[in-house]
Structure 1
Amino acid sequence: MFASLQNPLSLLGRLLLAVLFLPAGISKITGFAGTVGYIGSVGLPFPTLGAALAIVVEVGGGLALIFGLGTRWAALVLAAFTLAASIFFHAFWAVPAEAAMVTQLLFIKNIAVIGGLLTLAAWGPGAWSLDGRK
């Protein structure tokens, strides 16, 4: 039963993962100054460069997942990006106790997303992808 669902589920999984990254990247473009300020507020160096890099990773990676092009590499890059973002922006261990629960949930959600991305990197995008047509 699952063999017949492999390609549609792979496509759906890629699209759902892309929903996390593509809109986030687009919002960083439209709110670039705010993104730079937010990155700077956590003490990271070169916040303008960081914002530009985040846009490239999120928009490029999101589109790669949607189309299934360079999917394994895109998934690995997005996984590393998500891990770094989680450590710097969802550091639940460094926030006041009243804010820790939500921050911890966001951190754990990101860890689960990394798991999905690593699975995608391991197994590939499925036949319903540009990679699958090669």
Structure 2
Amino acid sequence: MLEKIFAPYRDYSLFVLRLFVGAVFIAHGALKLFGGLSGFAGFLQQAGAPLPDTMAPLVAAVEFFGGVALVLGLGTRTAAIVLSVVMVVAMATVTLKAGFAGGYDINLALLGGLLALLLAGPGKIAHGGDL
């Protein structure tokens, strides 16, 4: 019964996934890009990341523009791969040590969404093909 109800909306599922995952990355990237780069660089330095002053704007830009790409459905698989690398590095270097209380759970959920988009692509409701 539920299959009959929701079948006409199946094409919207990937759009909804792209919208929500992309919005999270846009928000986090924007916070870093537009006012928090020095603080983020300090955080990276404290976490032991190499070249924190170089990595901070790079990660912030990847998060922001990768999120925009996901929302628009432009280069969805490429954005998903790059953002997945950011998530895996963040999880391995920072949040894994702190566990769920330190944000590991949100990174894990975002990684799951990114991997789903990598496998499925942007779906029919997207502005462009996949790069």
Count how many residue pairs are aligned between Structure 1 and Structure 2. Answer: 125
1:55 pairs, out of 60, 69, 75, with 60
In structure 1, distance between residues paired with 2:45 and 2:129: 40
1:118 pairs, out of 115, 118, 122, with 115
1:102 corresponds to which residue? 101
Q: Deviations over 1:71-110 (max 9, x none)?
A: 0110111111111111112132xx5xxxx5512xx21331
Structure 2-normalised TM-score?
A: 0.86
2:49 corresponds to which residue? 44
Q: CA shift at 1:26, angstroms?
A: 0.7
Moved over 3 A (4+): none
Q: For residues 107 and 101 of structure 1, do their structure 2 counterparts lie closer, same or farther at Cα, with a shift above 3 Å needed?
A: closer
1:4 pairs, out of 1, 8, 11, with 8
Which consecutive residues of structure 2, in runs of 5 or more, have no partner in the other structure? none
The one-letter code sitting in structure 1 at the alignment partner of 2:92 is I
Contact residue 6 and residue 126 of structure 1 kept, 8 A: no
Q: For residues 26 and 101 of structure 1, do their structure 2 counterparts lie closer, same or farther at Cα, with a shift above 3 Å needed?
A: closer
Contact residue 72 and residue 125 of structure 1 kept, 8 A: yes
Over the matched positions of the two proteins, sequence identity in percent amounts to 34
Q: Deviations over 1:42-94 (max 9, x none)?
A: 111210111011112101100000100000110111111111111112132xx
Partner of 1:15, secondary structure, is: helix
In structure 1, distance between residues paired with 2:60 and 2:71: 16
In structure 1, distance between residues paired with 2:81 and 2:10: 21
Q: CA shift at 1:7, angstroms?
A: 2.1
In structure 2, distance between residues paired with 1:33 and 1:125: 34
1:14 corresponds to which residue? 18
The one-letter code sitting in structure 2 at the alignment partner of 1:121 is L
In structure 1, distance between residues paired with 2:114 and 2:104: 15
1:33 corresponds to which residue? 38
Which consecutive residues of structure 1, in runs of 5 or more, have no partner in the other structure? none
Structure 1-normalised TM-score?
A: 0.84
